[in-house]
Amino acid sequence: MNTILLQSTLTSDTISQIVVEEKTLSIMQLITSGGTGGTIIMSALALLSVFAVYILFERYSAINKASKEDENFFKSIKNFVEQKDITAAKTLCQNTDNPIARMIEKGVDRIDKPMTDISAAIENQGKLEIYKMENNLANLATIAGAAPMIGFLGTVIGMIVAFHEMASAGGNIDVEMLSKGIYTAMVTTVAGLIVGIIAYIAYNYLVTKVEKVIFQMEARTTEFLDHIHHSE
């Protein structure tokens, strides 16, 4: 009797292990289960995801650095302009590494020229600073749009494979035979949407941060121009 119970227990444990093994699917198996076409699509999406994450962290760091402003910087610039100490003002701008300082420096360089020239010089430098901050954001937007389409391409490839297997099998259609195409169709679609959603959110988040820095730049340069105008 004990032997029968032991065998029954072992059999149940073995069945449980088999069921668990059948339900378990590793990430690598998920990627390669769609055949060559699915593997190529998934590899492309993996590269795009790595590039998107790199752009997110690199731009986040650069934009955060650009947004930092020393509270004493602008006060010192005002004092130097009032004292006509242009050399000290330029030196302070050169030693301060942010977009506002570089824009103010262009204005200080043309302090004795008409306001239109000063304003134009600051505006041109501002456009250059915005271009630097927006570097690679277009690539992030491209990934946000391209990743889902690449995933849908995998869907089409998967369905073509599935229908080809059905046609080749004739009347003997087996679910296992169709699994490769179905895996490709489903997995690549999900992967493409995940990468696209992450890239889309990251793009909009970074654009919002850039807009805040632009607002800071406009506010400070306007204040600088007003100060010059009143000092004349």
Provide block-wise average pLDDT over 10 residues at a time, the chain (232 residues): 45 45 52 65 91 95 88 85 86 89 89 87 92 92 94 82 70 63 77 94 95 92 82 62
pLDDT at residue 42, rounded to an integer: 86
In terms of phi and psi (left: phi > 0; alpha: psi -120 to 50; beta: otherwise), the region of 170 is left
How buried is 45 (Cβ within 10 angstroms: 0-12 exposed, 13-18 middle, 19+ buried)? Answer: buried
41 touches 157 (CB < 8 A): yes
pLDDT of residue 85: 86
